[in-house]
Structure 1
Amino acid sequence: MNMMRKHLKPPGILLALFFSLAFVALFLKLNITKNNNTGDDTVTMVSLNHDVDLKKPIIDISGWQLPSEMDYDTLSQQVNGVIVRVQHGISMKKKNNAAFENGKDKAMDTHIEEFQKRNVPVAVYAFVNGNSESEMRKEAQKFYERAEKYKPTYWWLDVEEVTMPTNFNRGIEAFRDELAKLGAKNIGIYTQDWFITANQLDVTPFSSVWLAHYGGDTGYWDTSPNTTIPYDLHQYTSRGRLNGFAGDLDFNRVTNIEDYNKLFNHGQPIK
């Protein structure tokens, strides 16, 4: 039933106008306060993000996954992000099908371009292979030179082998330091918790740690690293399977949207 509103008498109009203006002023004040509160605003922005399904894997790939065998359209719909290998050192002692003699990954450009073309965020990694501090810096220079034009969301050092007889920590730091000096933002380290402990690696200079821990390596997430080392990204299997590629894939996961944004959105909440 529609009812006619009563007409306000002049004093009532003034009172209504006064309270209306007071309410508007209070609203504006609260809104300005909220906008100046970075923490609250960030939480609001993150909570409004409905496009990232954390159940989807993040994959890391290299020249061992041939572009000719990848259906990028299909794969891009099933992943939250991709980490592409840029190089295996700066020279190959033994020839292989995945990298050139100068260490550059044969598929890096195609992988990066194809996924970025489909709006999949791409980070990059380099297998660390230097045998001296000076060679570590040269590897960092090549890493940056080869990948900078793609503006990756994160730069990862893949540290799996002790390649220096002494002062390995200093070598890794030389790589990280040179990369930062060149202009790289967001530099992390990929390794395993036992490798960090066994070799007394100092991972504190890095802004993120990516740990490999497979458990049963079943193709699914069935365990997490049992460690006190803070990490943001977990590689949980080397036997992941997705439509669009017939072979096995490395699967990785983050546990929350904040870590995802840190690693795949240049640290910013997705709007």
Structure 2
Amino acid sequence: MTFNFKKMAGLFMGALAAFTISTSVSASKTKIADVSQYQGNINWSKASKVLKYAIIRVQHGDTGDADFRIDSKRNVNAAGAKKYGVPFGQYGYAEFSSVADAKKEARDFYKRSNAGARFYVLDNEHRKGKGSEQSYVNAWLSQMRKLTNKPLIYYSYDNYVAVHKINYSKFDGSWIANYSKKPTASADLWQYTSTGRVSGISGNVDLSKTLNSSVVNSWFKAGSADTAKPTYYTAVPASKKVTITRNIYEYQDVNFKSRITKLAAGKTLSVKAVTRSTGGAYRFQLTNGNYITANKAFVSN
């Protein structure tokens, strides 16, 4: 075998150049931005060259709130981030005014979120109800735990946490805003400015930096999809009613071979029994004799 030094040298230099380009691109992706419809049309091709992570808004409040709106760019931004390889989470600005309202807002937020989101954020900075703000936060968290196994993150600004004495230790992490200095509240991610700049985004944008990189990086891990073993209701609830939290189908048989109709999230159904498929999955039998899943990710009591 003849050893070609020129060829090997060429291959080595090519590999070195590729490695240099790859590492320099990776090193330039340092910014963490949260975006919404207020950033307009984002050029994700450009933004992806500097964005390490993105956090995308889904909604502001919920139905019944005077200023409720679904973010008009939530799907466009999620698609852009996915296309150009920017890992992202999603957040909902909360305006809940009761425990029941907090649970509903969680269900609606989850339903409107993108399946590609690595985690979900409760944006809790608007005091509206007359009851305990902590009870609303706990209700939102409890409802989301029933819907997803992805990380759940608490967001607020430093002073709000202090004034309302919010305990968010049961969340999977915290994201705290304070533009004058590092937050005094416990924070894994610090939103340090609302006047940041990112290539591909016109005007100002919120930027954050990590205070606990191992925790924050864990939120964005690709393996954080909803792949956990399903948890089921194994008994008929006392009310004998369940509410659908994500669009599902109604079936004529317990093994889900004969589909009847699609059921929209938010619909409440009467149930009379719990049974199991031949594969062991729990099903609710409806009062009309048909079946739906008893998976807690899709229905709640």
Q: Fold-level match, TM-score > 0.5?
A: yes
1:242 is matched with which residue: 198, 216, 219?
198
Q: Pairwise CA RMSD of aligned residues?
A: 2.3
Matched ranges for 1:98-137 at <5 A: 103-137=69-103
The answer as to whether partners of 2:188 and 2:212 remain within 8 angstroms in 1 is no
1:204 is aligned to 169
Structure 1 residues 257 and 196: alpha-carbon distance in aligned structure 2, compared to 1, 3 A threshold? closer
Matched ranges for 1:178-257 at <5 A: 178-215=143-180, 223-225=181-183, 227=184, 229-255=185-211, 257=213
2:33 is aligned to 59
- The count of aligned residue pairs is 202
Structure 1 residues 131 and 162: alpha-carbon distance in aligned structure 2, compared to 1, 3 A threshold? same
| Aligned amino acid, residue 150 of structure 2 | K
Distance 2:214 2:134 in 1: 29
The answer as to whether partners of 1:54 and 1:253 remain within 8 angstroms in 2 is no
Alignment deviations for residues 225-254 of structure 1 (CA, whole Å, 9 cap, x no partner): 2x2x33110000000112222210100111
Alignment deviations for residues 198-244 of structure 1 (CA, whole Å, 9 cap, x no partner): 111111111111010111xxxxxxx422x2x3311000000011222
Distance 1:54 1:235 in 2: 19
Structure 2: state its 5+ residue gaps.
1-21, 225-301
User: Shift of residue 107 of structure 1?
Assistant: 0.6
| Aligned amino acid, residue 80 of structure 1 | K
**Aligned with 1:138: secondary structure?**
helix
**Aligned with 2:195: secondary structure?**
strand
| Aligned amino acid, residue 130 of structure 1 | F
Decide which structure has the larger Cα Rg and report it. 1
Is the strand fraction higher in 1 or 2?
Answer: 2
Structure 1: state its 5+ residue gaps.
1-48, 96-100, 216-222
Distance 1:54 1:256 in 2: 20
Q: Which stretch of the first structure deviates more once superposed, 238-247 or 255-264?
A: 255-264
Alignment deviations for residues 1-52 of structure 1 (CA, whole Å, 9 cap, x no partner): xxxxxxxxxxxxxxxxxxxxxxxxxxxxxxxxxxxxxxxxxxxxxxxx9675
Identical pairs, percent = 27
The answer as to whether partners of 2:39 and 2:202 remain within 8 angstroms in 1 is no
